[in-house]
Structure 1
Amino acid sequence: MPTSDTTLLLADVTIAKNAVEARYRIADLSFATAIWYDSVDFDDLRARFGDSFVERLGFHVAAFEMNKVASLKPARIDWGDYSHFADADFNRLWASVFENVWAQWRYENRITDYRVPALPEPAAPTAAPVTRDLPDDRYLAFCGGGKDSLLTLTLLGDLNVRYDSLGYSASFYGTAPEQHALIDRLLDHGTPARRHKQWVSDQFLDVPVTELRPDFGVDYITAAETPSSIFAALPIVLAHGHRYICLAHERSADTGQVEWNGEDINHQWGKSFAAEALLNSYIRDHLIADFDYFSILKPVYDVVIFAALTGAEDAVPDTHSCNVAKPWCLSCPKCLYVWLGYAAFLDRETMIATFGDVNLLDRDDNIFTYRQLVGLEDQLPFECIGQAREAALFMRLAERRGWSGRVLEACRDALDALDLDAVARDYTALDFDRPNIPASIREGLKALFERSAAIARERIAVLSGSETPAPESGGVYEPVHARR
């Protein structure tokens, strides 16, 4: 039985030739997470960078996978035999990630007296980071399979960037072969030089711990998937000489879904620019000096992203975004949101090829979630979605394109309240001042986004009556990207 002084222990980290496995213990429970790689030979990394560095790297992978087990509210953390890798900077980073990502966990469990488990006294500062002699054009692009990944592949191709891709499966999302097959279908529309793969086997997230063990006193658990995935990708970065990791996180990830207990509760904090800056700084200072990760979509909102998919209709049916039942469950907030964005900008044939012949705006069981999405309920859903005015705009655009249904009337107050001039100004503006975009692609990327923003503004002008509505496919809206 857990007590008020429960300790979460990093019990073991095993680095095999092609895998890292970590085991954790809390109270009478033990969990393991294993990450397998198809393109990393840890024996070779040891020969190149030394045993100590590879062990330090494995510790970081394990420690950021371990934070999900802290959802069971341990009083303290014990790094076990690996405590010599946890210096003061590491403790600060781990605590910051936990405090910010687990804000949603505190909200959902109504926890007001606990923020971060106690960490051990820090070790002496760890060794200096490794430095490599690399060209500036080596990119590793994450591909999760959704519309953001599709646009990233398209942009990298249009910018003539040489890149590899990384797709990973996770046991809590379903079978690995199905997940990798879905990702590969989308990658067929890109031009990666090499496709790297990971397989994540996770005992903690695979079982209903909160239902089976109510004695821990929590009803919900969470995980820091983005920070964990960055550390888990570093062995690939080292093995194959990547200078950059390229992600696909857009501007809305910087904004939370609800204010509670004096906090901005942000489901997507791990995808935020604040998290990116924090993790980048630590990795450069402590692990790999000549490294950056960035989001190629961080300068724009979803309004521009959905508009940018105009002209890529051949690839859109190979996207998938659902975390409940891949490729689409057609009932969760993410499915409803992506369907709506596609309906706002894409033709019926593409919609049917992607989702089947369904109208999600004409289902009673979708009314509450859509009201959440457009800001008519207490909070936005905790999902990787855009902001309420974006969803309301997409709904109005979908209606203008001929979609109908009971959801529209249930959300009419939000649709009628839209200030179209303000929406066009706020959500088609580009921000290149803050995002960490490599200088070599910055101007080319800006030009591509400007064209996509122009398409979005034309669509919004249609709603205001100042432009002629576009036909179902193409029309006055010149595609940003040629078909592939």
Structure 2
Amino acid sequence: MKHKAKIFHFVGYEFDVNARKIFFKYRIEFYNQHSLNFTETIIFPNHPKKLKEESIQKILESLLIVLGISYYKLYCPPRVTMPFRLSREQADFWNTVYRKGLGEFLYRNKLDPKRLAKFSYSNIKIYPDRIKTQDRALLGIGGGKDSIVAAELLKDFDIVSFLVETQKQDLISDSVIDKIGRPSLKIRRVLDLKIFEKHDGAYNGHIPISAIFAFLGLLTAAIYEYKYVIVANEHSSNFGNLQYKGEIINHQWSKSVEFESLFQEYTRKFITPDIVYFSLLRQFYEIRIARM
């Protein structure tokens, strides 16, 4: 009998400051089998200075939602539960991130976008927090030439290379960091190993990984007092590949200017106005970057 998922629970998170680890917990509840529980771990390289968890609570709540997409997509349950409340505008943002960020996943698995759970909202007001920062930037590092070009354009500014290593060391990105020659901050993202097991009836496919990196960059900036999170997403990421069920499917949606604008607005309105995320290469096509 195929497993039928009932509810996806965003259970919560735990921040162990001394161990430099944050644990994000999820549970899939089924009609016809025992629940599946998952824990994802984020590990930081250095102890944060004088950090109060309440100062980054809104970022941690956002990370709970965005990291959860890796586990939600296994069965796409029709309902989700949260340990905190969202405003209507926040719920709209997350409904968009899940629908458009999972666009290619839905297309390849022949799933209707309407089957995705909707984030519920309450009639509440959410206000941003002030976070202490310094006039310096994190530069997100990928494995290609875009990061090198961005670093060269920023050679006169105070930047640190920022890398998220998922599950194992990223040797290609390490070589880019070495070539750039700036200090680096490496965050480790450890997925729950159960996600790699075979689950009867589970789906597989693309997730909006750059959205995950954006929120991890925001958290890292808040913890280590950086004012800017800079990425090197270029112009061609703005365009979709095909249309499916009334949606434009864009493999790179979480690198697009649409996501960037939504993320900037969400951060400013609901998290903090003190950290700014943007792409330095947005106006350039890939061929132009190759010539720079």
Q: CA RMSD in A?
A: 2.2
3-state SS, counterpart of residue 189 of structure 1? helix
Equivalent residue, structure 1, for 2:4: 3
Equivalent residue, structure 1, for 2:142: 144
Residue 31 (structure 1) shift: 1.3
Unaligned runs of 5+ in 1: 309-484
Equivalent residue, structure 2, for 1:60: 62
Distance 1:143 1:282, change over 3 A: same
3-state SS, counterpart of residue 83 of structure 1? coil
Say whether the 8 Å CA contact 1:7–1:75 is kept in structure 2: yes
Mapping of residues 369-408 of structure 1, within 5 Å: none
Residue 36 (structure 1) shift: 0.6
3-state SS, counterpart of residue 110 of structure 1? coil
Say whether the 8 Å CA contact 1:75–1:117 is kept in structure 2: yes
Equivalent residue, structure 1, for 2:216: 232
Matched, 1:200 2:186: no
| Cα deviation code 1:303-332 (max 9, x no counterpart) | 111122xxxxxxxxxxxxxxxxxxxxxxxx
Matched, 1:167 2:167: no
TM (norm. structure 1) is 0.55
Structure with the higher strand share, 1 or 2: 2
Counterparts of 2:177 and 2:216, CA distance in 1: 21
3-state SS, counterpart of residue 148 of structure 2? helix
Counterpart amino acid of residue 297 in structure 1: L
Counterparts of 2:47 and 2:150, CA distance in 1: 24
Distance 1:184 1:7, change over 3 A: same
Counterparts of 1:272 and 1:303, CA distance in 2: 17
Matched, 1:187 2:177: yes
Unaligned runs of 5+ in 2: 30-34
Number of equivalenced pairs: 283
Equivalent residue, structure 1, for 2:276: 292
Residue 45 (structure 1) shift: 1.6
Mapping of residues 244-255 of structure 1, within 5 Å: 244-255=228-239
Residue 123 (structure 1) shift: 6.2
Structure exhibiting the larger radius of gyration computed from Cα positions:
1
Equivalent residue, structure 1, for 2:91: 91
| Cα deviation code 1:352-391 (max 9, x no counterpart) | xxxxxxxxxxxxxxxxxxxxxxxxxxxxxxxxxxxxxxxx
Counterparts of 1:134 and 1:150, CA distance in 2: 23
Counterparts of 1:60 and 1:204, CA distance in 2: 22
Counterpart amino acid of residue 163 in structure 1: I
Residue 284 (structure 1) shift: 1.1
Residue 110 (structure 1) shift: 1.1
3-state SS, counterpart of residue 150 of structure 1? helix
Residue 2 (structure 1) shift: 4.0
Equivalent residue, structure 2, for 1:213: 200
Counterparts of 1:117 and 1:254, CA distance in 2: 26
Equivalent residue, structure 2, for 1:126: 126
TM (norm. structure 2) is 0.88
Distance 1:34 1:151, change over 3 A: same
Say whether the 8 Å CA contact 2:95–2:118 is kept in structure 1: no
Say whether the 8 Å CA contact 1:144–1:168 is kept in structure 2: no
Equivalent residue, structure 2, for 1:264: 248
Report which structure shows greater RCO (CA 8 Å, sep ≥6).
Answer: 2
Counterparts of 1:291 and 1:278, CA distance in 2: 15
Residue 40 (structure 1) shift: 4.7
Counterparts of 2:184 and 2:133, CA distance in 1: 23
> Percent identity between the aligned chains?
19
Equivalent residue, structure 2, for 1:106: 106
Counterparts of 1:143 and 1:113, CA distance in 2: 31
Equivalent residue, structure 2, for 1:417: none
Counterpart amino acid of residue 63 in structure 2: V
Structure with the higher helix share, 1 or 2: 1
